[in-house]
């Protein structure tokens, strides 16, 4: 038997003020777009804002539905929008933030498992790593250089060949 270990590095900033100008812009837009999320059931509004490799920007918000689990996360809304408007174009950086109407929004919250899997496939499809910025409305900011780091032992298209 062999024991394997998975580890990845990511950057932790104390606040948005420590980021470079472009990352500040992306995160500020993600925070802003979270305001228009449709989350009447959870009151947990998530916003995502991304710069694509072609320089264009797109946004997405979570969209809840009374017929749970028919809703869709902000990250997957954004990927759907990006691939519809700009087929085959990769995401360079995506910023994700949230506004918790039931409590604080002062720490980074990581994408759910479905979004992690979707990021991994989007990266494979566009042949471009996705850099992720995670934060709440205030507080620490995490920067992860490659979305695949969030999903060790991922299931991908190669597994179906």
Which region among 10-14, 68-72, 73-77, 126-130 has the lowest average model confidence (pLDDT)?
A: 68-72
pLDDT digits (tens, 9 = 90+) for 2-44: 998 888 999 999 999 999 999 999 999 999 999 999 999 999 9
The percentage of residues in the chain with a pLDDT greater than 70, rounded to a whole number, is 100
| Average pLDDT of the residues of the chain | 95
User: What pLDDT score does 55 carry?
Assistant: 98
- Do the domain assignments include residue 21? yes
Residues 65-78 as b or e (16 or more Cβ within 10 Å = b): eeeeeebbbbbbbb
Looking at the structure of the chain, the number of domains it has is: 1
pLDDT: is 6 or 100 the higher one?
100
The average pLDDT across 58-85 equals 95
- Do the domain assignments include residue 157? no
- pLDDT-derived band at 101 (thresholds 50, 70, 90) equals very high
| Catalytic residue (choose from 29, 64, 75, 148) | 75
Task: Output the pTM of the full model.
Answer: 0.95
- Do the domain assignments include residue 3? no
- Do the domain assignments include residue 65? yes
How far is the C-alpha of 50 from the C-alpha of 90, rounded, in Å? 10
Residue 84 belongs to what domain range? Answer: 11-152
- Do the domain assignments include residue 82? yes
Long-range contacts of range 71-78, CB-CB < 8 Å, 24 or more positions apart? 73/46, 73/111, 73/112, 73/114, 73/115, 74/34, 74/37, 74/46, 74/47, 74/48, 75/46, 75/48, 75/111, 75/115, 75/118, 75/119, 76/114, 76/115, 76/118, 77/48, 78/48, 78/49, 78/50
- Do the domain assignments include residue 74? yes
The average pLDDT across 81-106 equals 97
Tell me whether residue 121 is one of the annotated catalytic residues.
no
- Do the domain assignments include residue 129? yes
CB 107 within 8 A of CB 140: yes
- pLDDT-derived band at 100 (thresholds 50, 70, 90) equals very high
User: What pLDDT score does 45 carry?
Assistant: 98
CATH number at residue 83: 3.40.140.10
Report helix angle 74-85 to 113-126, nearest 10. 20
The average pLDDT across 111-116 equals 95
| H or E element at residue 61 | strand 57-61
- Do the domain assignments include residue 68? yes
User: What pLDDT score does 155 carry?
Assistant: 83
């Amino acid at each position: 038997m062999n024991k394997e270990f998975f580890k990845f590095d990511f950057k932790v900033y104390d606040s948005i003020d420590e980021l470079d100008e472009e990352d500040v812009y992306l995160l500020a837009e993600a925070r802003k777009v979270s305001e228009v999320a449709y989350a009447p059931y959870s009151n947990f509004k998530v916003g995502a804002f991304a710069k694509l490799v072609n320089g264009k920007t797109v946004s997405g918000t979570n969209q809840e539905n009374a017929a749970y689990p028919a809703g869709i996360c902000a990250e997957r809304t954004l990927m759907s929008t990006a691939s519809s408007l700009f087929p085959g174009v990769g995401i360079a950086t995506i910023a994700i933030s949230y506004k918790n109407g039931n409590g604080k929004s002062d720490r980074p919250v990581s994408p759910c498992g479905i979004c992690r899997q979707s990021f991994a496939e989007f990266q494979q499809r566009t042949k471009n790593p996705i850099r992720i910025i995670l934060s709440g409305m205030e507080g620490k900011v995490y920067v992860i250089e490659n979305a695949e780091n969030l999903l060790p032992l991922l299931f991908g298209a190669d597994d179906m060949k």
